[in-house]
Amino acid sequence: MDIIIIGSGNVATVVGRKILSAGHRVIQVYSPDPHHAAALASLLCAKPIRSMKDLERSADLILVSIPDNAYASFFQQFPRTGSFVAHTAGSVPLTVSGNISDRYGVLYPLQSLRKELQAIPEFPLLVDANSSAALEELKIFAADLSICPVGRLVPGGRDRFLLITSPDPGNREQTGIFFSGHRANRTGYPE
């Protein structure tokens, strides 16, 4: 996949490194601070961009990793795109990016990440998307990034989620499902 990363903080940096190690390609990095964009772009072998107008239109995925309180205003200025758009904030609604793409979702790392770490940690990812096809696409991408289980983020933010677990990290089919600390039935709804 060809991916654009918007943001240059902890999550953008660590997930960007995971993207490269999974064999995907980061083609551009944007940050309001051009020095931060250049530093992360250099680390990820990507091109830093100074304006949203310079976004590569052929990207498969645009991953937005900015402060949680900046999403609403950021997406109001974001140009409509044919790319899949995913953000990394578990506390921000899925629909915040709904006006800019037909395929959008959330890719939320369920762990605090620090860009200064030399070794990239394994961490579970929670995902959600606007359609079942988009969700499947995002789950496959998330599985590329982490040997940890991939879970489903459900409405309500990071305090309510489904976590898919398996004794075998390579087995993503047989799962146990948990909801907000309560056991859930196989449909994912609380018992």
Q: Averaged in consecutive runs of 10 residues, what is the pLDDT profile of the chain (191 residues)?
A: 96 94 96 96 96 91 94 89 92 87 89 76 84 92 80 52 44 41 40 37
pLDDT of residue 102: 94
* Chain-centre distance for alpha carbon 105: 8
Sheet containing strand 182-183, strands side by side: 47-49, 25-30, 2-6, 61-64, 84-87, 104-109, 125-129, 150-153, 161-162, 178-179, 182-183
pLDDT of residue 15: 92
Beta strands in 13-112 (DSSP E): 25-30, 47-49, 61-64, 84-87, 104-109
pLDDT of residue 162: 46
Q: Is the pTM of this model over 0.85?
A: no
CATH of domain 2-183: 3.40.50.720
CA-to-CA distance for 34 and 151, rounded, in angstroms? Answer: 34
